[in-house]
Amino acid sequence: MKIGTIDLGERSVLLAPMEDVTDQPFRILCKEFGADMVYTEFVSSDALVRSVQSTHRKLTISDAERPVAIQIYGRDTDAMVEAARICESASPDILDINFGCPVKKVAGKGAGAGMLRDIPKLLEITREVVRAVRIPVTVKTRLGWDNDNKIIVSLAEQLQDCGIAALSIHGRTRSQMYTGEADWSLIGEVKNNPRMVIPIIGNGDVTSAEIAQEKFNRYGVDAIMVGRASIGRPWIFREIKHFLLTGKPASSLSAREKFLILRRQIRESISRIDERRGILHIRRHLAATPLFKGIPNFRETRIAMLRTETESGLYEIFDEIEQKYASFLCEEV
């Protein structure tokens, strides 16, 4: 699959952009485990234009994570164009436009998936952003606003006509948020539309190597995105890539190796921000990781882990888990 001149190879596996998740340390980690391309957290065009420092920090990228895309969102054309130019100066490989975020504070204000209720404006923003920058521009969106307005097949053609270099589709409507199952049938319909020539990337409920292969085989997409399933589990990219290449499951990482990965995430999160906020940030990964799934009588330990406010306190709990549940971890992880 090529996006512009960027060759990501066949059956590419991408890290989906996720707010408060896909910061630089996590992107680099996922890249090390085999992600073919990674995306920044989404960036507010209005905040970029206003030079909000915390937003500008999201533009920090490194060669270790390339190819990398910066994703922007907003509802004002001029602000989106200016933000696109600011992003381009940070030297990403790709600029992505978010027309898919369903959360109320974004979609409710007309940005993200909220743009699905104003298609002329959505297309205007896309056209003007494509014209404003020299790097490839892509779009990430959903099937439509709600079940009665699944417009993605026709919208995909219109977006392609605006000059985008690839399209990512999450298989839910905005109204669904993240509930129910992702519907890939319309993603497949977009991909198999003879008018579509740009790469189509499927997103939604890719939680295992077997599911990833099934999506490629059944719907013919050029790439898949892994989102929530990577939280606390960056090694999922290793599992998927190995299975796609060999048809066999990858050898499992040991519990010890996975603990070392989590410790690295904690250290880098603290180093990037500070101890208190770094630990608050990493709690989402600790809560989601399958490393602790199914451990018997684990509730009190989990609560303690998610309430701990110091790096040393977290490591003490990890040591306790490794010792207390050693036999379970060896069998299940």
The pLDDT value recorded for residue 326 is 77
pLDDT single digits (tens) 68-91:
999 999 999 999 999 999 999 999
The pLDDT value recorded for residue 333 is 44
pLDDT single digits (tens) 101-138:
999 999 999 999 999 999 999 999 999 999 999 999 99
pLDDT single digits (tens) 253-301:
999 999 999 999 999 999 989 999 999 999 999 999 999 988 888 999 9
Residue 9 pLDDT exceeds 60: yes
pLDDT band at 210 (very low <50, low <70, confident <90, very high): very high
pLDDT band at 203 (very low <50, low <70, confident <90, very high): very high
3-class SS letters over the chain: CEECCEECCCCEEEECCCCCCCCHHHHHHHHHCCCCEEEEEEEEHHHHHCCCHHHHHCCCCCHHHCCEEEEEECCCHHHHHHHHHHHHHCCCCEEEEEECCCCHHHHCCCCHHHHHHCHHHHHHHHHHHHHHCCCCEEEEEECECCCCCECHHHHHHHHHHCCCCEEEEECCCCCCCCCCCCCCHHHHHHHCCCCCCCCEEEECCCCCHHHHHHHHHHHCCCEEEECHHHCCCCCHHHHHHHHHHHCCCCCCCCHHHHHHHHHHHHHHHHHHCCHHHHHHHHHHHHHHCHHHCCCCCCHHHHHHHHHCCCHHHHHHHHHHHHHHCHHHHHHHC
Q: Class of 2-246 per CATH?
A: alpha beta
The pLDDT value recorded for residue 328 is 77
Q: Which residues lie across from 202 on neighbouring strands?
A: 169, 224
pLDDT single digits (tens) 22-40:
999 999 999 999 999 999 9
How far is the C-alpha of 97 from the C-alpha of 80, rounded, in Å?
Answer: 9
The pLDDT value recorded for residue 324 is 81
| Mean pLDDT to the nearest integer, 155-184 | 97
pLDDT single digits (tens) 297-333:
899 999 999 999 999 999 999 999 988 887 777 654 4
Domain residue spans of the chain: 2-246, 255-332
> Which residues carry out catalysis?
101
Answer whether 221's CB lies under 8 Å from 228's CB: no
How far is the C-alpha of 212 from the C-alpha of 242, rounded, in Å?
Answer: 11
